[in-house]
Structure 1
Amino acid sequence: MTDATTTAATRAPRARALLDEPAFKDLPAVKAGHLYPLRGSTVFTFYGTNGMIDDLTAAAKAYAGS
C-alpha cells in the first residue's frame, strides 16, 4: 500500500473500513502492494481530468517499476 493510500484512508472512514477488511487485504493485488490512490471516480472538468491522468500515470509507473 502506498503512503498516499494510507493518508487518504485516514481522512475517509469508509476507505479506512475497506482497507481494514480481511477479504480486501486478501486480494492478490493488495497483497502484492499494487493499490494506488486515484482522485475521484467521476471527472467533470479539465482540471479534474488532468489530476486523474496524473494519478493513473503515477500508478502505471509504480506498477511497471515493481
Structure 2
Amino acid sequence: MTNSRSAESPRALSKVPETTLGFWVIKIAATTLGETAGDAMSMPMNLGYLIGTAVLAGIFRAAVMAQIRA
C-alpha cells in the first residue's frame, strides 16, 4: 500500500508561488514607488521620517485589509 502523498511530486506540494518575471517587475516597482513616496513625504513636505512612515504604514494597512476582505 502506497501513501498518496509520497506519490505526488515535490513541486505539487509547494505552497510557494513560482518566481516569474512579473514578480520581479512588481517587486522593483513597489520598492521604487515606496522609496519615492517616503522621500516625498519626509523631505519636500517637511513631515519627517516618523510621520511619513506612519502615513505610509496606514496606507499599506488599508490596502492589506481591502485585499483580505476581497
TM range (shorter): 0.3 to 0.5
Larger radius of gyration: 2
More helix by share: 2
Higher relative contact order (CA 8 A, sep 6+): 1
TM superposition score normalised by structure 1: 0.36
TM-score (normalised: structure 2): 0.34
